[in-house]
Amino acid sequence: MARPGSFDDGRGQVRPAETNVGASALDTVSPLTRERVTAALLELDYPQFQDGNGDLGVLWSQAAFHIYLLSEDESVLQVRGAWHRRLALERLGEVLALLDSWNREYLGPKCYVRVLDDGFLSIVAETSTPLSSGVSDRQLLRLIERGIGHGLRVMRALEERYPDPAAQAPRGML
């Protein structure tokens, strides 16, 4: 049986635990903070903003993504993107079917529709990751990249399903 702090190589031989010689400051686990998220966005060189509530966000051609730190201790990282276009309320049934299919086929992001006060539909994609044990800078970069990247995958699918009529030439014109 392997001793604590040792490594069983699978052949019944116990060796001392290996140290991660290639570890760097990027691999040091620290608590999730707003400052670390801001630094990660700067490192990624994403077009970012801060809204009136102090929440961080990233602008992309097809969506605006907000990055929230949730729970009392702000240890849950949430990347939430909203598609830049709105759909008519009459499309609710087909949009729900589309998002239900997406949620069954893909592990993430979680997708849902919101009915806005003006009666239009907003499509949202979000990923949430609990990080109460902390996160390394390298992990934080990847979580933000993946949250935005997976959200953009949904937005591209929506663009294909609901093309922008203004992007097409009017009928009868070449």
List the beta bridge partners of residue 56.
Answer: 50, 67
**Amino acid 173: pLDDT:** 61
Instruction: Count the neighbouring beta carbons within 10 Å of the beta carbon of residue 56.
Output: 20
The CATH number of residue 138's host domain is 3.30.1460.70
With b meaning 16 or more CB within 10 Å and e meaning fewer, what string describes 67-80?
bbbeeeeebbbebb
Rounded to two decimals, the pTM is 0.79
> Does a structural domain hold residue 17?
no
Residues 134-149 have pLDDT tens digits of 999 999 999 999 999 9
> Does a structural domain hold residue 124?
yes
> Does a structural domain hold residue 137?
yes
Cα-Cα end-to-end distance for the chain: 77
Q: Tell me how many domains the chain contains.
A: 1
Residues 46-79 have pLDDT tens digits of 988 998 988 999 998 779 999 999 999 999 999 9
How far apart, in whole angstroms, are the C-alpha atoms of residue 166 and residue 75? 42
- Residue 40: is its pLDDT beyond 60? yes
Structural domain for 42, as ranges: 30-162
Cβ proximity of 77 and 32 under 8 Å: yes
Distances from the Cα of 101 to the Cα of 89, 94, 97, 108, angstroms: 19, 11, 6, 12
> Does a structural domain hold residue 12?
no
**To 5 degrees, how large is the angle CA 153–CA 156–CA 152?**
40
Whether the CA torsion 64, 147, 120, 114 is positive or negative: it is: negative
> Does a structural domain hold residue 16?
no
